[in-house]
A = this chain, B = another copy of it.
Amino acid sequence: MSVDPRLRTRATELFGVDYPIVQTGMGWVAGPSLVTGTAEAGGLGILASATMTIDEMDAAIGEVRSRTDQPFGVNLRPDAADLDDRADRLVEAGVRVASFAGPPPGPVVQRLRDGGVLVMPTVGARRHAEKMAELGADVILCQGGEGGGHTGSIPTSLLLPQVLDAVDVPVIAAGGFHDGRGLAAALAWGADGVAMGTRFLLTAESKVPDTVKAVYLGTPVTGTVVSSSIDGKPQRVIRTRLVESLESARLTRMVRAAANAWRFRGITGMSMAAMLREGLAMRRSQDLTWSQMAMAANAPMLTRATMVDGDIDAGVLPTGQCVGVVEDLPTCAELIDRIVAEAVEALDRLAP
């Protein structure tokens, strides 16, 4: 089937994919299975490498390569200690896109671009989009506050036009998108595509335990909260009892935070040495107090507790607010086909 020309954008050209649909690099979630499923269905899948060692990343890239000839991306942590090496590996492997949740350092942007890898940072404010475009970003992923995980306070309806006004490079819209009507709306605003996290977390190819997927499916649109008490930065997660207790703990002092950190150390099994190492790295790269740091050191393990181990009480469940309108677990192919059909139908309604 040939692709509707209205769905061809500067982003599909750059990425070399059929549809302007990006599956985001969710830590512990976006592994080879999800990325391959997305790539084979015509979207851009992004492997989450921030929660992998560099060797695990290599192995995961190799696995995707062995399962599909389609292009895909890899998400990197901009403050990873071995970022230069990771960038080199992406270049060597011929990965199409490197995405970043935060602003990557200029020299790494250069290194990736020189090696033929497209650089796509995520922004939540207009000025960050401007800075990233100046630094040489090829594509801007613009995430409105209704998006999942680390997120800003400006909703998609306002951030997207602001970012479109600010930069000339292609813009991918994220935050609230989950269906084809939304894709048509993003294209009407002038975006070059949409990115979705939660919608892809809730597919057959996503390896998240079924019990955890059930919690997501049961969460209403008002069942999420943006909390800074997990790792010091605002993050949208499902409002569980754990998150509520973290939120109230945030109002007390260091002592309480340290006790919490110690308690979660026990739950997640992170060694004291690993916790301190992680914490110190974060304290250097971010502006955190010692009490925030103590919690933050354990933050990736809190997500792992749910996403990998299926322990809902011990972990956090990052999510977009669109969790409240997602109601099924299609395959990636079913999902993308449906989104494309809905988008074409919406565009047909607007035809002259």
Hey, which chain B residues are within 8 Å of A221, CB to CB? 126, 154, 158-159, 162
Hey, which chain B residues are within 8 Å of A158, CB to CB? 146, 176, 221, 321-322, 324-325
**5 residue pairs, one from A and one from B, having the closest CB atoms:** A157-B176, A184-B188, A185-B185, A188-B188, A185-B188
Can you list 6 residue pairs at the A/B interface with Cβ under 8 Å?
Answer: A6-B350, A146-B157, A154-B221, A155-B321, A184-B350, A187-B188
A5 interface contact, C-beta 8 A? yes
Among B155, B179, B186, contact of A144 (Cβ-Cβ < 8 Å) = B155
CB of A161 within 8 A of CB of B188, answer no
* A161/B189 contact (C-beta < 8 A), A155-B321, A222-B154, A321-B155 known: no
Q: How many copies of the polypeptide does the oligomer hold? A: 2
Hey, which chain B residues are within 8 Å of A121, CB to CB? none
CB of A155 within 8 A of CB of B162, answer no
A190 interface contact, C-beta 8 A? yes
Q: Which of chain B's residues has its CB closest to A343's CB?
A: B188
Among B5, B157, B321, B350, contact of A177 (Cβ-Cβ < 8 Å) = B157
Number of interface residues of A (CB under 8 A): 42
CA distance A161 to B326 in the complex (A): 12
* A321/B154 contact (C-beta < 8 A), A179-B161, A350-B6 known: yes
Footprint of B on A, CB under 8 Å? 4-6, 126, 144-146, 153-159, 161-162, 164, 175-177, 179, 181-182, 184-190, 221-222, 321-322, 324-325, 346-347, 349-352
CA distance A4 to B184 in the complex (A): 19
CB of B175 within 8 A of CB of A184, answer no
CB of A350 within 8 A of CB of B188, answer yes
CA distance A347 to B145 in the complex (A): 26
CB of A155 within 8 A of CB of B184, answer no
Hey, which chain B residues are within 8 Å of A5, CB to CB? 352
Q: Which of chain B's residues has its CB closest to A177's CB?
A: B157
CB of A346 within 8 A of CB of B188, answer yes
* A325/B162 contact (C-beta < 8 A), A157-B177, A175-B157, A188-B346 known: yes
CA distance A164 to B185 in the complex (A): 14
CB of B189 within 8 A of CB of A182, answer yes
* A157/B181 contact (C-beta < 8 A), A162-B325, A188-B347, A325-B162 known: no
CB of A325 within 8 A of CB of B181, answer no
A20 CB, nearest partner CB in chain B, Å: 12
Among B4, B155, B347, contact of A155 (Cβ-Cβ < 8 Å) = B155
* A182/B161 contact (C-beta < 8 A), A346-B190, A352-B5 known: yes
Hey, which chain B residues are within 8 Å of A321, CB to CB? 154-155, 158
CA distance A349 to B176 in the complex (A): 23
A182 CB, nearest partner CB in chain B, Å: 7
Q: Which of chain B's residues has its CB closest to A173's CB?
A: B157
A8 CB, nearest partner CB in chain B, Å: 12
CA distance A321 to B160 in the complex (A): 13
